[in-house]
């Protein structure tokens, strides 16, 4: 899989860009703030419908404009597909496949697969559980695009149920009866919806952990052979221990079993939920356990070990996707400068075999010499809010 052409309009610092991109390795060189990361951020957005840098779309739209466009022509096993996304201020985003509008932007998911490694990935090890849940869900959605609809439905149910818990909890405390009959009956309905969507999401996360486990362990061992072995597991207070063992082989009836478990746990937790006004059961409460030997990586791993673990997670994801079909596009955003010689070599070894790689770097010396690449220089022109990025050929690395 590779991107043959990329176009940007009013995306971040790019007023306009049209790029023809060959397979192999392309390096975007430029000083910090010139817009090189914005290029690969746009590619990542087409793959996940989200940015690896910000949680909202508004910062992605060029200052002073109302919308931005990102488009790419993706080649996969000889077949070309064109995907375009329009980001709008104050209204819903829109998408096209082969220039034809689609009902939902998420319909483009799965056409382009990417694995992006960036300095922000250190938060996978040291950050909040939400970072690790996002990693799992984006990777699971890359493998099964219809999961995007399940995630959207689950988030909608979670918001509705949480709002009802707050209302019913207030009424219950004022009346002393734990909420009205109508509110509790409506909660039963939302419990069913949450268990239905949550069980599908949980089943895919557990399957992913099971299949990612050996790739992660192998990648970490290659990067840091002197370190303790790295393992991953799924953490959930809602599920019995046998479901949390990464060695457990997923079963065909997992979704039905998980739905029954969630319904039971929701019923048990309801008094506490009404008292606190929050939803205490479901995949939105879970985490990914990252372990080095017998100790959790978060809080115990050194800076180098944390970098190695984050890198191993991304390389494991790359190998997992590669094993299921064509290579995903590998994006390395300003990471070589952060890595020591061994980690740079491990990453360069994978990059040398990938079908297409995009690399950003401040200086050519940050890119390992063994990576032969097509260099492009990224610069900015203009002043203040009117600055714009532009590309020019670089004579060599």
- Are residues 142 and 326 in contact, defined by beta-carbon separation less than 8 angstroms? no
CA distances to 178, 301, 305, 321, 343 from 221, in Å: 53, 15, 11, 20, 11
* 90 labeled binding residue: no
- Give dist(CA 299, CA 272) in Å, integer: 30
Which DSSP state fits 113? -
Q: Which residues are within 8 A (CB) of 326 and not within 5 positions of it... i.e. 6 or more apart?
A: 1, 76, 77, 113, 355
Which DSSP state fits 347? H
CA 388 to chain centroid, in Å, comes to: 28
Q: Which residues of 347-383 are buried (b: 16+ CB within 10 A; e: fewer)?
A: bbebbeebbbbbbbbeeeebbbeebebebbbbebeee
* 166 labeled binding residue: no
Q: Tokens standing for 389?
A: 């990025």
Q: Which residues of 255-286 are buried (b: 16+ CB within 10 A; e: fewer)?
A: beebbebbbebbeebbeebbeebebbbbbbeb
- Give dist(CA 128, CA 261) in Å, integer: 26
Sign of torsion, CA 251 253 257 262?
Answer: positive
* 30 labeled binding residue: yes
* 37 labeled binding residue: yes
* 36 labeled binding residue: yes
Look-up: residue for tokens 């009346």? 175
* 35 labeled binding residue: yes
Binding residues are 30-37
Binding residues for ATP are 30-37
């Amino acid at each position: 899989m590779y991107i043959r052409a990329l176009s940007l309009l009013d995306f971040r610092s790019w007023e306009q860009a049209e790029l023809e991109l060959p397979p192999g390795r392309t390096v975007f060189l430029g000083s910090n703030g010139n817009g090189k990361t914005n290029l690969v951020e746009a590619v990542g957005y087409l793959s996940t419908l989200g940015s690896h840098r910000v949680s909202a779309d508004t910062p992605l739209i060029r200052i002073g404009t109302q919308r931005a466009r990102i488009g790419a022509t993706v080649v996969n096993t000889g077949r070309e597909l064109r995907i375009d996304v329009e980001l709008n201020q104050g209204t819903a985003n829109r998408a096209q496949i082969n220039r034809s509008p689609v009902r939902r932007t998420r319909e483009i998911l799965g056409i382009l697969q990417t694995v992006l490694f960036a300095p922000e990935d250190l938060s996978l090890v040291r950050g909040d559980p939400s970072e690790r849940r996002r990693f799992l869900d984006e990777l699971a959605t890359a493998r099964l695009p219809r999961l995007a609809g399940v995630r959207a439905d689950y988030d909608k149910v979670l918001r509705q149920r949480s709002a009802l818990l707050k209302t019913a909890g207030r009424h219950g405390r004022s009346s002393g009866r734990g909420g009205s009959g109508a509110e509790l009956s409506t909660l039963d309905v939302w419990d069913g919806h949450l268990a239905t969507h949550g069980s599908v999401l949980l089943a895919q996360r557990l399957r992913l952990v099971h299949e990612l486990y050996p790739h992660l362990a192998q990648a970490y061992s290659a990067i840091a052979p002197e370190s303790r072995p790295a393992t991953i597991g799924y953490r959930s207070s809602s599920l019995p221990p046998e479901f949390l063992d990464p060695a457990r082989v997923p079963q065909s009836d997992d979704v039905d079993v998980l739905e029954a478990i969630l319904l039971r746990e929701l019923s048990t937790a309801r008094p506490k939920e009404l008292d606190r006004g929050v939803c205490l059961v479901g995949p939105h409460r879970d985490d990914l356990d990252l372990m080095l030997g017998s100790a959790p990586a978060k809080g115990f791993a050194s800076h180098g070990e944390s970098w190695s673990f984050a890198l191993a997670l991304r390389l494991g994801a790359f190998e997992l996707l590669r094993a299921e079909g064509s290579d995903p596009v590998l994006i390395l955003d300003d990471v070589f400068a952060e890595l020591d010689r061994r980690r740079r070599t491990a990453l360069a070894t994978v990059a040398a075999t990938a079908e297409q790689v995009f690399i950003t770097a401040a200086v050519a010396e940050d890119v390992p010499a063994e990576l032969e690449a097509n260099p492009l220089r990224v610069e900015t022109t203009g002043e203040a809010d009117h600055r714009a990025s532009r590309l020019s050929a670089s004579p060599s690395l």
